[in-house]
């Protein structure tokens, strides 16, 4: 397990101070700043030790080391705990990969834990360094910057899904374009991952808004930033819900198109079989050696019979073509 420790002042500006977190938390808290502890590749033993050192609740520490946890916001007596999914693209394909970020926050202390592929994670150090400065709010300035950056990732993925969905909606009604069912269901999978990452989190942030405002220490500017996070999550969640509904329509149209094509093929095959049956039936009758069959006593009777068969075939073809079977 690796960890990096940095200190920020009350305006979110890095102070350059590094060292054991226990020495700086009290000082940072008194000055309105915070100490940031960044943890990567966590292991249960290391997290248990860190939890005891920083006073983190054992249940939250257990969540940060358990198998994939559903996104949530939870309050413990000691601190705020946020579990979020990061949604990124795999380097070798367009499949979405989910990694996890856990946030522990209380006055003077911010702890972040990232699990999953390092290439899929948001660079939290760069995020905190680039966060707007001069906005009071202490540790919540860091929480806002990190959460906002992850939500921006949701917005990007949802926007890409929206663009591909629009293409599919155009193609599904274009008879000159062959529909690709694999593409449709790949998009459905990607939309589902973004939806699962956002939907629960949007509800959790909205229901905990009052508690989040408390942690801002009544700072008006930071309270508006918290509301902005809630609005962004709600917007992405609604967009994902609309995309799922639209994709259901695309899938239904695709399945109807397949059923219609299969019905058309069945009618065409039936029409061809019917036309082939006409000469087969007539030839079968004349092959039974019955006496007094029409035309059998004529020198060129076979010509007359062939013309009759051709005439019947032409009539059948015209009728079937008119009905749209051919």
Domains and CATH numbers, the chain: 2-256 (3.30.460.20), 257-322 (no CATH)
Q: Which of 83-97, 150-164, 178-192, 260-274 has the highest mean pLDDT?
A: 150-164
User: Tens digits of per-residue pLDDT, 260-290?
Assistant: 777 777 888 888 888 888 888 887 777 777 6
Q: How far apart are CA 86 and CA 114, in angstroms?
A: 9
Question: For position 302, what pLDDT does the model report?
Answer: 74
Say yes or no to pLDDT of 10 above 70: no
User: Tens digits of per-residue pLDDT, 127-171?
Assistant: 888 776 644 457 888 888 899 899 988 898 888 888 888 888 777
* 260-268: Cβ within 8 A, 24+ apart: 267/324, 267/325, 268/325, 268/326
| Cβ contact 130:59 at 8 Å | no
Q: Which of 70-84, 89-103, 104-118, 300-314 has the highest mean pLDDT?
A: 70-84
Question: For position 246, what pLDDT does the model report?
Answer: 87
């Amino acid at each position: 397990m690796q960890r990096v420790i940095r200190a920020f002042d009350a305006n979110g500006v890095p102070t350059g101070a590094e060292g054991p977190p226990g020495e700086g938390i009290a000082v940072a808290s008194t000055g309105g700043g915070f100490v940031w502890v960044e943890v990567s590749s966590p292991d249960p033993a290391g997290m248990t030790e860190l939890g005891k050192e920083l006073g983190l609740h054992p249940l939250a520490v257990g969540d940060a080391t358990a198998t994939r946890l559903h996104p949530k916001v939870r309050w413990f007596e000691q601190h705020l705990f946020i579990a979020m999914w990061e949604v990124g693209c795999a380097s070798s394909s367009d499949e979405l990969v989910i990694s996890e970020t856990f946030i522990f926050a209380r006055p003077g202390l911010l702890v972040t834990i990232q699990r999953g592929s390092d290439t899929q994670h948001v660079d939290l150090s760069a995020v905190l360094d680039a966060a707007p400065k001069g906005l009071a709010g202490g540790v919540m300035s860091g929480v806002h910057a990190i959460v906002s950056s992850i939500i921006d990732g949701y917005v990007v993925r949802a926007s890409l899904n929206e663009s591909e969905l629009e293409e599919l909606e155009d193609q599904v009604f274009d008879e000159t374009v062959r529909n690709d069912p694999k593409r449709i269901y790949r998009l459905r999978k990607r939309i589902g991952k973004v939806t699962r990452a956002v939907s629960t989190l949007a509800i959790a942030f909205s229901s905990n808004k009052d508690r989040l405002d408390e942690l801002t220490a009544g700072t008006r500017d930071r309270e508006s930033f918290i509301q902005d996070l809630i609005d962004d999550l709600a917007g992405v969640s609604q967009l994902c819900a609309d995309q799922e509904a639209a994709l259901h329509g695309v899938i239904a149209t695709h399945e109807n198109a397949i059923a219609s094509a299969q019905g058309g093929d069945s009618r065409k095959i039936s029409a061809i079989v019917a036309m082939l049956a006409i000469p087969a039936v007539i030839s079968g009758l004349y092959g039974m050696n019955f006496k007094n069959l029409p035309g059998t006593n004529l020198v060129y009777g076979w010509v007359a019979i062939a013309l009759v068969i051709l005439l019947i075939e032409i009539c059948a073809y015209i009728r079937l073509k008119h009905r749209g079977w051919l």
